Amino acid sequence: MDPSPRFFSWDEIKSYSSRAPERWLVIDRKVYDISRFHKRHPGGSRVISHYAGQDATDPFTAFHLDKNLVRTYLKPLLIGELAADQPSFEPNKNKELVEDFRELRATVEKMGLLNSNHLFFLLSLLHILLLDVSAWLNVWYFGTSLVPFLITALLLGTVQAQAGWLQHDFGHLSVFGKSKWNHWIHKFVIGHLKGAPASWWNHWHFQHHAKPNCFRKDPDLNMHPLLFALGKILSVELGIKKKKFMPYNHQHKYFFLPLVPFYLQWYVFYFVVQRKNWVDLAWMVTFYLRFFITYSFLLDLKSLLGLFLLLRIVESHWFVWVTQMNHIPMAIDYDKNMDWLSMQLQATCNVNQSLFNDWFTGHLNFQIEHHLFPTMPRHNYWKVTPLVKSICEKHGIQYQSKPLLTAFADVVWKVPSDWEADEGILSMKIVLVWTLSRNRGSSGWMPTCTSRSQTPYLDPFTAFHLDKTLVRKHMASLLIGELAPDQPSFEPDKNKLLVEDFRELLSTVKKMGLFKPNQFFFFLTLLHILLLDAVGWFVLWYFGISMMSFLIATVLMTFAQSQAGWLQHDLGHLSVFSKPKWNHLFHEFVMCHLKGLSANWWSLHHSQHHAKPNCFQKDPDVSFHPIILSLGEPLSLELGLQKKKHMPYNYQHKYFFFTLPLIVVPTFQVYSLYFILQRKLWRLQATCNVNQSFFNDWVTGHLNFQIEHHLFPTMPRHNFWKVAPLVKSMCAKHGIEYQSKPLFTGFTDIVQGFILGASSWTGRVT
């Protein structure tokens, strides 16, 4: 006779979590003891243990096809049920939201959206086999020269990627109505077509679905913190603990290196041997036998190994970019025991639908729908999307979908690393400033503005950022307080009327639409750069390498480099596109490909210059003082008083012209000279203008409007002349000198500036 049923409260159940010796979980109000069973769980020990001490009703429903069969296995584990006064799930979960999602699940089942179209998956398999055969025929027919070799590697990489999506379908039991048929075909696709074990995939992937983006539960996050610092919360935690396993501030650069698949190749063999899964090992061996036997007749050993490595690199990049674009940009944290819908929506986002996106991602551009209904056949995702959007809208949950390239860019930009705490003030709010590797303005501009002195940086914050609402969201977790009510919004030593007038001017400029770029202008700018570059090459090719043609080509290519410098400057200041990520992508192209320089180097230095122009030890543009040059009257006087003589500064206006070619690349003479012209160390202000003319606008990239550019760094340069009258009016009102001069006067002032610095230093030394 069975003993009387036991009744439990949620407080009791919580104590039997995955960290406890005994593990309990709840399914449909029934309490099960999985302390011994978890090791025999077909889906893996860890995936079921992740829900120990929690309600597992929704993941149980999501993962299993034949729930009645599974419940028969659960009967011996039943130890009781929830007490009558206890809710069906944890009190912290939104009751209406949970019930609405379960109603949505019932609707999906009634609509037949969990039933698969077998023809769809048959065609998927056939197109994979066709690509595989085409790769072999390509080398057999066209030979083993470089082009056929690379095409075959690309085709085989495509085969591996598409087979990866197909095995994913079978692994999720979404093809056949019977689990065993899915398991058998899964072993064939992942083992014979890909050379990987099905048991390894089940062990890792089901955990990811059970607790996506939950640190220590989602194995996709195992790279934190050994290789990467992932997620804002976890990265801040690392920073507070002063733990630094890797140079996280450079992780967006070395992120690409671990994608080379050396680790995975040996680990999958280690996995099956350690667990003695000989069936999976046998399937894996058939893949390697098939590959090496079929290609050994066409390639020597060196080429064969090279082909294998190339196809794995293609596959690895394809797989990682597609799978991580839906997760890394999203929230990453410890397990908060959220309801199923909220947890999945917080950790996943979609990529817009198109025929190419569906094929390229294996329909994982519908990542939200896939995570909510993991056993749903992928060809039905688009049908359930409107229902999911409706429930998200009802409960105020964000449903994110983005273009494919935007999603790829987000993987890089949103791999954060947080170090070096500082404090700053933003709109009366005191925030803890962490230098982020994803901060495209460099990891240094915020400390430049704060310097541990709690300096307000509302104006530079407004000047540097396009999407301020988005940036404020990222700063929300850094908020530690606000200024007292009796404190002004900025330091008392600042002119209140002047600050308010400038902010009013900024508002007027926005209303006038002067921050909206004319992209046709920048397109023509890029075309004329490419034209100059091509003409320079054509002159040498057509006229030969005589002295005259050589000099003409040099001048043309120098102009191309200078103009590319102005264009990368526009992109670096986010003034070409309305979305920062597009500016960043094209900035990398122009700066790296057209100029051969680092975009990150430019961002690091130039944003600091704009944040604190001509401020010694903060503006890197004046870093030549005092190592090579003595700059500015106050700094030169200080050097003289200290009797410091690093260089013969009294002759610096002469040797300046000789040291410049040694400091900068020769093709940057116009570029560098003009920047020095614009950074002359004025006592009262840091910038001045050069008179407008068509030639001046072209040769300086509109940086003859340096004042306007420094006030509004994200304004497109073709609008500087429009805002200049407003700036002049404001300067006149407050008695601030607005300086503008002829171009050649500006050049001669460079020399006069060095003479001033030299004489100031000499006077104090003597």
Q: Which two tokens stand for residue 53?
A: 């001490």
Q: Are residues 741 and 601 in the same domain?
A: yes
Greatest mean pLDDT range, 131-140, 230-239, 418-427, 674-683: 131-140
Instruction: Output 457 or 732, whichever has higher pLDDT.
Output: 732
Closest CA to 444 of 475, 419, 465, 473: 419
Greatest mean pLDDT range, 172-176, 263-267, 521-525, 549-553: 172-176
User: Could you say which of 300, 333, 366 is where a domain stops?
Assistant: 333
User: What is the reported pLDDT for 520?
Assistant: 82
DSSP character string of 192-225:
IIT---HHHHHHHHHHHHHSTTBTTT-GGGTTTT
Q: Is residue 395 part of a domain?
A: no
| Average pLDDT over every residue of 564-583 | 83
3-state secondary structure of 172: coil
Range of the domain at 17: 7-92
d(CA 631, CA 610): 18
Q: Which two tokens stand for residue 511?
A: 């209303």
3-state secondary structure of 235: helix
User: What is the reported pLDDT for 615?
Assistant: 59
| Angle at the Cα of 751 from the Cα atoms of 750 and 752, rounded to 5 degrees | 90
Give the count of beta carbons closer than 10 Å to the beta carbon of residue 590: 23
User: What is the reported pLDDT for 665?
Assistant: 42
DSSP bridge partners of 435: 419
Whether 143 has a pLDDT exceeding 60, the answer reads yes
Look up residue 650 and give its DSSP letter.
Answer: G
| Angle at the Cα of 560 from the Cα atoms of 556 and 566, rounded to 5 degrees | 145
C-alpha 153, offset from chain centre: 28
Q: Are residues 40 and 161 in the same domain?
A: no
Q: How many residues does the chain have?
A: 766
Q: Are residues 552 and 639 in the same domain?
A: yes
User: What is the reported pLDDT for 196?
Assistant: 92
pLDDT band at residue 467 using 50, 70 and 90 as cut-offs: low
| Average pLDDT over every residue of 419-447 | 44
Least confident of 33-42, 256-265, 310-319: 256-265
| Region of residue 578 (phi > 0: left; psi between -120 and 50: alpha; otherwise: beta) | alpha
Is the CB of residue 502 less than 8 Å from the CB of residue 730? yes
Strand boundaries in 13-88, DSSP class E: 24-27, 30-33, 78-82
DSSP bridge partners of 33: 24
Per cent of the chain over pLDDT 90 is: 26
d(CA 249, CA 254): 10
Is the CB of residue 377 less than 8 Å from the CB of residue 175? yes
Greatest mean pLDDT range, 169-183, 470-484, 712-726: 169-183
- Which long-range CB contacts under 8 A does 613-622 form with residues at least 24 apart? 613/679, 613/686, 613/687, 613/710, 614/679, 614/681, 614/682, 614/686, 615/686, 618/448, 618/451, 621/675, 621/679, 622/679, 622/681
Look up residue 113 and give its DSSP letter.
Answer: T
Whether 370 has a pLDDT exceeding 90, the answer reads yes
| Average pLDDT over every residue of 140-164 | 94
| Region of residue 276 (phi > 0: left; psi between -120 and 50: alpha; otherwise: beta) | left
Q: Are residues 174 and 273 in the same domain?
A: yes
| Region of residue 491 (phi > 0: left; psi between -120 and 50: alpha; otherwise: beta) | beta
Q: Is residue 258 part of a domain?
A: yes
User: Could you say which of 76, 92, 108 is where a domain stops?
Assistant: 92
Indicate the average pLDDT of the chain. 76
Whether 417 has a pLDDT exceeding 60, the answer reads no
Give the count of beta carbons closer than 10 Å to the beta carbon of residue 155: 21
Q: Are residues 56 and 139 in the same domain?
A: no
Q: Are residues 159 and 251 in the same domain?
A: yes
User: Could you say which of 92, 127, 149 is where a domain stops?
Assistant: 92
User: What is the reported pLDDT for 181?
Assistant: 94
First CA to last CA distance, the chain: 109
Q: Is residue 632 part of a domain?
A: yes
The greatest distance separating any two alpha carbons of the chain, rounded to the nearest whole angstrom, comes to 109
Is the CB of residue 201 less than 8 Å from the CB of residue 167? yes
pLDDT for 607-629, tens place per residue?
Answer: 676 666 655 556 555 544 444 44
Cβ neighbours for 18, distance < 8 A, ≥ 6 positions apart: 49, 50, 52, 53
User: What is the reported pLDDT for 338?
Assistant: 85
User: What is the reported pLDDT for 136?
Assistant: 96
Q: Which two tokens stand for residue 393?
A: 């809208």
Place of tokens 């003891």: 33
Instruction: Output 308 or 320, whichever has higher pLDDT.
Output: 308
Q: Are residues 622 and 750 in the same domain?
A: yes
Q: What are phi and psi of 467, to 5 degrees?
A: -95, 85
Buried b / exposed e along 54-73 (16+ C-beta atoms within 10 A) = bbbbbbbbbbbbeeeeeeee
Least confident of 63-67, 184-188, 590-594, 645-649: 645-649
DSSP character string of 324-377:
HTTTTTS--BS-----HHHHHHHH--EE---HHHHHHHTTGGGHHHHHHSTTS-
DSSP bridge partners of 180: none
d(CA 280, CA 274): 12
d(CA 302, CA 305): 5
pLDDT band at residue 243 using 50, 70 and 90 as cut-offs: very low
pLDDT band at residue 435 using 50, 70 and 90 as cut-offs: very low
Sign of the alpha-carbon torsion through 445, 447, 450, 456 = positive
Q: Is residue 269 part of a domain?
A: yes
Q: Are residues 602 and 737 in the same domain?
A: yes
pLDDT for 119-134, tens place per residue?
Answer: 999 999 999 999 999 9
Q: What are phi and psi of 408, to 5 degrees?
A: -65, -45
Look up residue 43 and give its DSSP letter.
Answer: T
| Average pLDDT over every residue of 436-440 | 43
Instruction: Output 246 or 102, whichever has higher pLDDT.
Output: 102
Instruction: Output 229 or 362, whichever has higher pLDDT.
Output: 362
User: What is the reported pLDDT for 14?
Assistant: 87
pLDDT for 492-518, tens place per residue?
Answer: 777 778 777 777 877 787 788 887 888
Q: Are residues 602 and 543 in the same domain?
A: yes
Whether 373 has a pLDDT exceeding 90, the answer reads yes
3-state secondary structure of 741: strand
User: What is the reported pLDDT for 618?
Assistant: 60
d(CA 328, CA 324): 6
Give the count of beta carbons closer than 10 Å to the beta carbon of residue 685: 15
Q: Is residue 171 part of a domain?
A: yes
d(CA 75, CA 79): 9
Domain total in the chain: 3
User: What is the reported pLDDT for 678?
Assistant: 41
Is the CB of residue 82 less than 8 Å from the CB of residue 5? no
d(CA 382, CA 363): 9
Q: Are residues 203 and 238 in the same domain?
A: yes
Q: Is residue 427 part of a domain?
A: no
Whether 599 has a pLDDT exceeding 80, the answer reads no
Q: Which two tokens stand for residue 761?
A: 């230093």
Q: Are residues 123 and 60 in the same domain?
A: no
Instruction: Output 454 or 606, whichever has higher pLDDT.
Output: 606
Per cent of the chain over pLDDT 70 is: 69
Is the CB of residue 696 less than 8 Å from the CB of residue 690? yes
Is the CB of residue 372 less than 8 Å from the CB of residue 113? no
* Cα separations in angstroms, 586 against 411, 466, 573, 715: 17, 16, 12, 17
Is the CB of residue 15 less than 8 Å from the CB of residue 25? no
| Average pLDDT over every residue of 336-360 | 89
Is the CB of residue 431 less than 8 Å from the CB of residue 592? no
User: What is the reported pLDDT for 327?
Assistant: 66
Closest CA to 438 of 260, 613, 228: 228
DSSP bridge partners of 41: none
Q: Is residue 470 part of a domain?
A: no
Q: Are residues 71 and 146 in the same domain?
A: no
User: What is the reported pLDDT for 357?
Assistant: 94
Q: What are phi and psi of 435, to 5 degrees?
A: -75, 120
Give the count of beta carbons closer than 10 Å to the beta carbon of residue 30: 18
CATH number, domain with residue 42: 3.10.120.10
pLDDT band at residue 450 using 50, 70 and 90 as cut-offs: very low
Q: What are phi and psi of 132, to 5 degrees?
A: -65, -45
Q: Is residue 37 part of a domain?
A: yes
d(CA 112, CA 114): 5
Whether 433 has a pLDDT exceeding 70, the answer reads no
User: What is the reported pLDDT for 192?
Assistant: 94
Is the CB of residue 171 less than 8 Å from the CB of residue 190? yes
Least confident of 511-515, 568-572, 632-636: 632-636
